[in-house]
């Protein structure tokens, strides 16, 4: 549109020149500043994750099969969420740092400085989302590891003792002078090991 | 350059304004809204006549307000906006300080609310 502007109501002042120059400088350097910030965040967050994972600064049980089933599923979900958040976050950070190759119609391409401004705004948005998702990835990783540390074990070790009086199965409470006390479903039962004909370690007493 | 003409001496860089600059810019500049909150003002510099293409934006990535920008919400301008402008050409102008652009001319225009 043409003719929609009006002259300023007052004569311009040196302060107007400074404002115009400051704004021009900000716009000229806007995309470069966002790219530099994105590269710095990408490198910093990448190094943080590499240190956490690569150097085993966070490490839980080697086998999450030792966790009770519900907690093991929770760990799996947390790890999956960490993987997704980390992958998307990394892509967004790379997108913010380096842009996205795109083929556009020559008729719709914005003028150079406007295109740079729009790209700077888009890159800043991607950078913000990338930072959030990468930190979220770290949080999910920490949650998964903490769960493997503090989650309840699937079951306690159990022994099945066969004696002439019958078979007793339960977790070990104590051993005292040849007498083994097991915690069973019926309470604590003492068994004389000297009469045992078989001692078998079992995963569960059921069945 | 046409045959028989002599090259015109470039105007020296001088930080200068004139009431006529604003009037000429208002008459000669066009306004295009290329995106919501982003205008492009195009026209000749009132002093050196170089072709200018000046973006006028409502949001900008600024180091000190980076976080604020990242949570940005587009705020349409409610009233007419007095916009300070300056020549930003990259033509040669003697005595121009390093890192500066243009011939030194500056002025203001009013951008009506409906175009901003």
User: Which pLDDT score is estimated for B69?
Assistant: 45
User: Which pLDDT score is estimated for B2?
Assistant: 45
User: Which pLDDT score is estimated for A58?
Assistant: 62
Facing A5 at nearest CB: one of B62, B63, B110: B110
Domain boundaries, chain B: 19-115
Facing A6 at nearest CB: one of B21, B26, B86: B26
pTM above 0.80, yes or no: no
Whole-complex ipTM = 0.83
Facing B55 at nearest CB: one of A9, A17, A117: A117
Q: Is A180 exposed, middle or buried (0-12, 13-18, 19+ CB in 10 A)?
A: buried
Contact B61/A30, CB-based, under 8 Å? yes
Contact A1/B69, CB-based, under 8 Å? no
Cβ contact B11:B45 at 8 Å: no
How far, CA to CA in Å, does B80 sit from each of A1, B25, B113? 16, 17, 5
User: Could you tell me which CATH number the domain at A158-202 has?
Assistant: 2.30.30
The yes-or-no verdict on residue B64 having pLDDT over 60 is no
Cα Rg of chain B, angstroms: 17
Cα–Cα distance, A32 to A119 (Å, whole number):
10
Look up residue A87 and give its two tokens: 């992958």
Domain boundaries, chain A: 16-102+111-150, 158-202
- pLDDT digit string (tens) for B8-56? 788 999 999 999 999 999 999 999 988 888 899 999 999 999 999 999 9
- pLDDT digit string (tens) for A49-83? 888 877 666 666 666 667 778 888 898 999 999 99
The yes-or-no verdict on residue B68 having pLDDT over 80 is no
User: Which pLDDT score is estimated for A183?
Assistant: 85
Closest-CA distance, A26 to chain B, in angstroms, reads 7
Please tell me whether residue B95 adopts helix, strand or coil conformation.
coil
């Amino acid at each position: 549109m043409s003719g929609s502007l009006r002259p300023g109501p007052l004569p311009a002042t040196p302060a107007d020149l400074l404002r115009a120059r400051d704004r021009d400088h900000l716009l000229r350097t806007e995309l470069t500043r966002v790219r530099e910030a994105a590269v710095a965040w990408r490198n910093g967050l990448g190094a943080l994750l590499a240190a956490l994972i690569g150097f085993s600064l966070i490490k839980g049980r080697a086998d999450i099969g030792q966790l009770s089933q519900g907690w093991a599923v929770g760990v799996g979900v947390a790890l999956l969420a960490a993987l997704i958040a980390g992958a998307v976050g990394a892509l967004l950070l790379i997108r913010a740092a380096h842009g996205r190759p795109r083929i556009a119609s020559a008729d719709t391409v914005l003028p150079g400085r406007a295109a740079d401004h729009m790209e700077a705004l888009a890159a800043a948005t991607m950078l913000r989302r990338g930072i959030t998702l990468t930190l979220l990835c770290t949080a999910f990783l920490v949650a998964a590891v903490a769960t493997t540390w503090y989650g309840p074990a699937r079951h306690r070790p159990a022994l099945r003792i066969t004696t002439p009086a019958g078979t007793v199965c339960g977790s070990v409470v104590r051993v005292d002078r040849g007498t083994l006390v097991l915690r069973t479903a019926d309470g604590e039962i003492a068994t004389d090991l000297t009469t045992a004909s078989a001692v078998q370690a079992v995963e569960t007493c059921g069945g | 350059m046409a045959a028989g003409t002599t090259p015109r001496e470039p105007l020296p860089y001088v930080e200068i304004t004139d009431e006529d600059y604003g009037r000429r810019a208002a008459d000669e500049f066009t306004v295009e809204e290329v995106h919501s909150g982003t205008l492009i003002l195009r026209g000749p510099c009132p002093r050196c006549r170089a072709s200018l293409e000046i973006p006028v934006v409502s949001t900008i990535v600024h180091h000190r307000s980076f976080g604020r920008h990242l949570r940005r919400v587009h705020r349409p301008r409610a009233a007419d906006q007095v916009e300070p402008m300056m020549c930003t050409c990259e033509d040669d102008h003697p005595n121009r300080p390093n890192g500066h652009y243009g011939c030194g001319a500056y002025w203001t225009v009013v951008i009506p609310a409906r175009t901003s």
